[in-house]
């Protein structure tokens, strides 16, 4: 119990404690609790959306994952993960609803899956955890939204998989990428820092991600400024507000399937923003998981954005980077068609500077 | 029809002057509210420039503003101001008419089940991935279906009394509210769920001239219907037996009023989501000014409702960088104002 008091939710501390506990199959989760597994987990259920693909990446297979959230399933079917791990398509996705109460587990469905551990949100109230505990199911809780928490989640998944060294490997990649980007971004003069807006919702109404969001983190990481940093959370806004910001770059979320840059170019107001005039409107890619929120693939998001924002300063060969990352993450080599699809070449191909991601531009 | 013909030119002469002054004051309020709404917003445009841009549409002027200024005023704010005014007027007029027909000051347009119905239609469209005109059409159609259901269920042996109507409205409203909850339960938490939630709280943020063009015929037709029925609503508000004794086809007239309200409510919900409280509160304020006579109550309610929603919408879009849902503000302002009005009316009644 020496660790338990110190943990208190600090993900990095959790990360450093985890190896000590791995021996006894005990480790801390992100709610600061200790999770003990009697044997290496063979049957894992994940309810938070990004966890399913993270677990598959950390474990290197989809065999131990027996249940997941319906939204995770959709991302798997939509993205490359389903193609890289065909058995992931057959995993049960009926353990929770999808909408307003979507993280409330159906305990009896879960019990049927006989899981060794259930991964659940630790920051959305006890109501969605209580029923699991009550049914005697072992839970591991995660939290979400910042880079330290993203690393903590990787560590937690690796601990569950009994492969703590995998987390170290993936976290080292994140740290190295951040250091590399910061080295270049530091030299971008204040006057040349582009103003970026990430639209978390644009198909019906508009919503922009404000300060302290993960989007805000990586916009600033690559040397940009979040034009919407006066907002808290991701509230609804109007087109007039975007015109007032007049952003240099607009990022469209990858969640809304039908959303394409045409939404901006066809809008009478938004089409007059600098971003639209200079054709710098990009739809977020989707690889093994969506590139917008924190996931195991986040370093690729950062490189992608760095390349697009400052093409003369950053020179990541993204296709090569993705191929390398997918060997590290999934042990697989994506085809050229896979890369086109992940980068959404058909949607983004016409946008400014996007030609550098074309197959012909990669060495 | 005879009531309509005899009463139309028959305004009492002795009150003509104060009534005209009052009408002017209410109109002036509306105009000021509309101009204020046009001049404020997140995009910085000086008020004189905003007005100049507007005037330049009717008179030749030298443009000292940017293309963006012009787009913001003419494409964003102008349709939004008109839409807010139109919906505010429509909702207030429906509330006033319904409160007369039901002889109950607590009745609001929601009571007929039209807004829960329209809300379901809109939410369904969003969760199926539709936006724009498909959304509006679905909201309107579902609102009409809700009213038809209320009508069919409330009629027993060719008659529908008030209590039966209100209860049926509540039942159908609850049914559609449950369907909306079901949709929220099934919606994708990453994309359609927040869109549905925000839409349900009401907003004019998607206003365009095209949307105005869609909402305007419905709202205007409904308001016109109610205006032509102002005398009949006066008679209906005497009570069912009295109205029947006066030779009014109570059943038919009542349904004409409901149809008009459904038209207004369906169109308003379709373009702006569910905006509560306007139809309930504004008629009370108007009644305090001009009394219960629908001939004065309807136009004053319309002007006050339009001004009120203009004020609320201006706050919603310019108080913070984020859009505040209309329903939040209408309720936050509406509830205390309503309480104050109720107390004042009660005091008046006691003093009499």
Instruction: Note the ipTM here.
Output: 0.71
Are the C-beta atoms of residues A207 and A178 closer than 8 Å to each other?
A: no
Identify which of B188, B198, B208 has the shortest CB distance to residue A98.
Answer: B188
Nearest-by-CA chain A residue for B205: A238
For chain B, say whether A204 makes contact (Cβ under 8 Å): yes
Who wins on pLDDT, A309 or A73?
Answer: A309
For chain B, say whether A262 makes contact (Cβ under 8 Å): no
pLDDT at A45 over 90: yes
Residues 6+ apart with CB under 8 A from A147: A174, A178, A214, A217, A294, A298
What residues does A290 pair with on adjacent strands? A286
CB contact under 8 A, B322 and A100: no
Query: Which of B321, B325, B326, B329 to mutate against chain A (most A CBs within 10 Å)?
Result: B321
CB contact under 8 A, A203 and B71: no
Averaged pLDDT for residues A237-252: 94
CA distance A7 to chain B (A): 30
For chain A, say whether B190 makes contact (Cβ under 8 Å): yes
Contacts of A257 in chain B (CB under 8 A): 129, 191
Q: Please state, as a whole number, how many other Cβ atoms lie within 10 Å of the Cβ of residue B348.
A: 10
pLDDT band at residue B17 using 50, 70 and 90 as cut-offs: low
Nearest-by-CA chain B residue for A71: B188
| Cα dihedral A343, A346, A348, A350 sign | positive
CA distance A209 to A198: 6
For chain B, say whether A211 makes contact (Cβ under 8 Å): no
**Mind listing the pLDDT tens digit for each residue in B271-293?**
888 888 899 899 998 988 888 89
For chain A, say whether B348 makes contact (Cβ under 8 Å): no
**Mind listing the pLDDT tens digit for each residue in B201-245?**
888 887 889 889 988 998 999 999 999 999 999 999 988 888 889
CB contact under 8 A, A238 and B190: no
Highest mean pLDDT among A110-119, A182-191, B16-25: A182-191
Query: Which of B177, B182, B189 to mutate against chain A (most A CBs within 10 Å)?
Result: B189
Strand A65-68 relative to strand A206-208, pairing: unpaired
CA distance A140 to chain B (A): 22
Pull the structure tokens for residue B289: 């000014």
CA distance B217 to B222: 8
For chain B, say whether A241 makes contact (Cβ under 8 Å): yes
For chain B, say whether A22 makes contact (Cβ under 8 Å): no
Contacts of B189 in chain A (CB under 8 A): 49, 71, 98-100, 102
CA distance B264 to chain A (A): 23
CA distance B217 to chain A (A): 24
> Which of A80-89, A274-283, B204-213 is predicted least confidently?
B204-213
Nearest-by-CA chain B residue for A234: B322
CA distance B270 to B287: 28
Q: Residue A24's pLDDT is what?
A: 52
Q: CA A291 from chain center: how many Å?
A: 5
DSSP assigned state of A285: P
CA distance B92 to B261: 10
CB contact under 8 A, A49 and B190: yes
Mean pLDDT of chain B: 85
Q: Residue A10's pLDDT is what?
A: 47
**Mind listing the pLDDT tens digit for each residue in A160-203?**
999 999 999 999 999 999 999 999 999 999 999 999 999 999 98
pLDDT at B69 over 90: no
Pick the closest to residue B281 from B204, B349, B341 (CA basis). Answer: B341
For chain A, say whether B328 makes contact (Cβ under 8 Å): no
For chain A, say whether B68 makes contact (Cβ under 8 Å): yes
Cβ-Cβ contacts under 8 Å between A and B: the total is: 116
CB contact under 8 A, B42 and A100: no
Overall pTM surpassing 0.95 (yes/no): no
CA distance A83 to B22: 72
Pull the structure tokens for residue A138: 């072992």
**C-alpha distance from residue B209 to each of B73, B76, B90, B204, B271 (Å):** 12, 9, 18, 12, 11
CB contact under 8 A, B198 and A236: yes
DSSP string, B9-50: T---GGGHHHHHHHHHHHHHHHHHHHHHHHH-SSS---HHHH
């Amino acid at each position: 119990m020496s660790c338990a008091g110190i943990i208190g939710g600090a993900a990095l501390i959790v990360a450093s404690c985890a190896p000590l506990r791995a021996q006894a199959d005990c480790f801390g989760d992100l709610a600061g609790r200790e999770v003990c597994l009697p044997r290496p987990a063979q049957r894992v259920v994940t309810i938070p959306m990004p966890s399913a693909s993270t677990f598959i990446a950390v474990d290197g297979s989809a065999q131990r994952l027996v249940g997941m959230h319906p939204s995770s399933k959709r991302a798997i079917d939509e993205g490359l993960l389903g193609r890289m791990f065909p058995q992931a398509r057959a995993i049960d996705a009926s353990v929770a609803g999808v909408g307003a109460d979507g993280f409330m587990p159906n305990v009896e469905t879960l019990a049927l899956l006989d899981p060794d551990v259930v991964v659940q949100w630790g920051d959305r109230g006890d109501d969605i955890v209580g029923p699991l505990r009550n049914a005697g199911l072992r839970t591991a809780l995660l939290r979400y939204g910042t880079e330290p928490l993203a690393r903590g989640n990787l560590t937690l998944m690796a601990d569950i998989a009994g492969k703590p060294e995998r987390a170290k490997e993936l976290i080292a990649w994140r740290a190295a990428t951040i250091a590399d980007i910061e080295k270049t971004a530091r030299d971008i003069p204040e006057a040349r820092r582009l103003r970026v807006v990430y639209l978390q919702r644009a198909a019906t109404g508009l919503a922009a991600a404000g300060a302290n969001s993960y989007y805000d983190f990586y916009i600033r990481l690559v040397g940009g400024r979040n034009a919407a940093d006066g907002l808290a959370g991701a509230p609804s806004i109007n087109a007039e507000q975007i015109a007032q910001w007049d952003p240099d770059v607009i990022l469209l979320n990858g969640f809304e399937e039908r959303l394409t840059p045409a939404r901006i170019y066809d809008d009478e107001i938004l089409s007059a923003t600098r971003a639209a005039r200079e054709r710098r409107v990009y739809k977020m890619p989707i690889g093994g998981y969506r590139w917008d929120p924190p996931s195991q693939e986040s370093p690729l998001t950062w490189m992608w954005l760095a390349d697009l924002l400052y093409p003369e300063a950053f020179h990541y060969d993204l296709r090569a980077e993705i191929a390398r990352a997918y060997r590290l993450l999934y042990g697989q080599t994506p085809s050229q068609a896979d890369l086109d699809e992940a980068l959404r070449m058909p949607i983004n191909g016409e946008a400014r500077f996007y030609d550098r991601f074309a197959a012909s531009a990669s060495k | 029809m005879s009531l309509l013909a005899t009463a139309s030119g028959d305004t009492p002469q002795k009150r003509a002057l104060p009534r005209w002054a009052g009408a002017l004051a209410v109109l002036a309020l509306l105009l000021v509210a509309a101009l204020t709404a046009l001049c404020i917003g997140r995009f910085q445009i000086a008020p004189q420039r905003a007005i100049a841009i507007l005037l330049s549409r009717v008179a030749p002027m030298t443009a000292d503003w940017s293309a963006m200024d012009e787009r913001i005023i003419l494409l964003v704010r102008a349709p939004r101001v008109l839409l807010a005014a139109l919906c505010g007027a429509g909702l207030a007029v429906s509330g006033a008419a319904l409160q007369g027909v039901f002889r109950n000051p607590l009745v609001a347009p929601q009571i007929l089940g039209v807004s829960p119905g329209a809300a379901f239609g809109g939410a369904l469209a969003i969760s199926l991935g539709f936006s724009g005109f498909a959304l509006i059409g679905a909201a309107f159609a579902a609102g009409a279906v809700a009213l038809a259901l209320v009508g069919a269920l409330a009629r027993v042996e060719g008659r529908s009394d008030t209590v039966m109507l209100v209860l049926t409205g509540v039942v159908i409203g609850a049914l559609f509210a449950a369907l909306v909850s079901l949709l929220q339960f099934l919606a994708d938490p990453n994309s359609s769920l927040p869109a549905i939630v925000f839409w349900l709280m009401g907003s004019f943020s998607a206003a365009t001239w095209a949307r105005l063009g869609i909402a305007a015929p419905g709202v205007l037709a409904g308001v016109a219907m109610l205006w032509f029925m102002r005398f009949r609503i006066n008679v209906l508000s005497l009570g069912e037996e009295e109205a029947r004794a006066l030779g009014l086809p109570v059943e038919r007239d009542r349904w004409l009023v409901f149809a008009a309200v459904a038209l207004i409510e369906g169109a308003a919900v379709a373009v702006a989501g569910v905006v509560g409280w306007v139809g309930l509160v504004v008629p009370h304020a108007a009644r305090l000014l001009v009394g219960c006579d629908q001939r004065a109550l309807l136009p004053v309610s319309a002007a006050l409702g339009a001004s009120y929603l203009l004020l609320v919408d201006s706050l919603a879009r310019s108080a913070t960088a984020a859009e505040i849902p209309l329903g939040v503000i209408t309720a936050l302002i509406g509830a205390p104002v309503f309480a104050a009005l109720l107390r004042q009316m009660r005091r008046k009644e006691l003093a009499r």
